[in-house]
Amino acid sequence: DGGITQSPKYLFRKEGQNVTLSCEQNLNHDAMYWYRQDPGQGLRLIYYSQIVNDFQKGDIAEGYSVSREKKESFPLTVTSAQKNPTAFYLCASSHGTGGTGELFFGEGSRLTVL
Amino acid sequence: QKEVEQDPGPLSVPEGAIVSLNCTYSNSAFQYFMWYRQYSRKGPELLMYTYSSGNKEDGRFTAQVDKSSKYISLFIRDSQPSDSATYLCAMFTGAGSYQLTFGKGTKLSVIP
């Protein structure tokens, strides 16, 4: 089955700790994205990558970091610098340039800071 | 003014009702319009996709785009409890940019 796999589904973190959220896709998509979703805020773009070894900041990149060493993988690290990290995190992918623009989403990872 | 405005609801309707969900936008360069459905604690999934102005129908769902008014709508006929979800509108220009701009989502409950 083609799709996007996010892990872990639920994660608890103590203040001051970095955590890494995994995102893997087997859709052969060029572009990958990380969004944060808070109640009443909709989806906010954290980082996106249109090609391996390249990524761009989105609207709320502060306190987050990413890497794109492989086409299939786009992990997100939530650092201790992120002031309010408790949220629902969504990874997505798309064909990128030349595609329809449709985003395919994973099931999400819910991070709670204790 | 935000680029995309969407009433967050919540919207509660009886089973069988016609539901109307709407978004307004300010960027006249938007050409591609989508509606995503998101069930609780799940990722969004694409429901409808339209280009430019006009209507598109898929079963009980109809998407309408009025570019002159910068207004898009999603109609759900004969609503079912399984339609209970959050509906997000999304759009992009397509002119070299494939980044979607999302509305905040409308939470819909269909009561049996």
Whether residue A42 and residue B98 make contact (CB cut-off 8 A), yes or no, is: no
Cβ neighbours around B31 below 10 Å, total: 17
- Identify the pLDDT of residue A98: 64
Residue B88 pLDDT > 90: yes
The listed range with the strongest mean pLDDT (A12-21, A69-78, B92-101) is A69-78
Of A5-14, A38-47, A95-104, A105-114, the range with the lowest mean pLDDT is: A95-104
Q: Are the C-beta atoms of residues B43 and A3 closer than 8 Å to each other?
A: no
The string of pLDDT tens digits covering residues B14-53 is 999 999 999 999 999 999 999 999 999 999 999 999 988 8
Q: With an 8 Å Cβ cutoff, are B43 and A106 in contact?
A: yes
Residue of A nearest to B7 (CA): A40
The minimal CB distance from A105 to the residues B41, B44, B92 is found for B44
Residue A1 has pLDDT above 70, yes or no: no
**Minimal-distance CA residue of chain B relative to A94:** B98
What is the pLDDT at residue A39?
Answer: 85
Q: What is the rounded average pLDDT of the residues B83-108? A: 88
Burial class (CB in 10 A: 0-12, 13-18, 19+), B30: buried
Cα separation of the two ends of chain A: 35
Q: Provide the percentage of residues in chain A whose pLDDT is more than 90.
A: 78
Mutate to test the interface with B, among A49, A102, A104, A110 (most CBs of B within 10 A): A102
Q: Which residues of B touch A (CB under 8 A)?
A: 6, 8, 32, 34, 41-46, 49, 88, 90, 92, 94, 96, 98-100, 102-105
* pLDDT tens-digit map of A47-97: 999 999 999 999 999 999 999 999 999 999 999 888 899 999 999 999 877
Judging by beta carbons within 10 Å of its beta carbon (0-12, 13-18, 19+), is residue A45 exposed, middle or buried? buried
Q: Is the predicted pLDDT of residue B97 greater than 70, yes or no? A: no
Q: Encode pLDDT of B51-67 as tens digits.
A: 888 899 999 999 999 99
H and E: helices and strands count for chain A: 0, 11
- Beta strands B71-76 and B19-25 are antiparallel
Q: What is the pLDDT of residue B1?
A: 61
A14, pLDDT greater than 80: yes
Place of tokens 């990558």: A49
- B63: closest CA of chain A, how far (Å): 16
Reply yes or no: is the peptide bond before residue A75 cis, omega within 30 of 0: no
**Lowest-pLDDT choice from B12-26, B65-79, B89-103:** B89-103
Contacts of A79 (CB under 8 A, 6+ apart): A18, A63, A64, A65
Residue A2: what pLDDT? 72
- Find the residue in A nearest to B91 (Cα): A101
CB contact under 8 A, A101 and B92: yes
Which residues of chain A are within 8 Å of residue B92 when distances are taken between CB atoms?
101
User: Are A19 and A11 contacting, i.e. CB atoms less than 8 angstroms apart?
Assistant: yes
Q: Locate B84 and state its tokens.
A: 């209970």
Residue of A73, A101, A84 lying closest to A6 (CA atoms): A73
* pLDDT for residue B52: 85
For B98, the closest of A45, A97, A106 (CB atoms) is A97
Cβ atoms of residues B7 and B22 within 8 Å: yes
Q: Of A37, A108, A36, A48, which Cα lies nearest the Cα of B105? A: A37
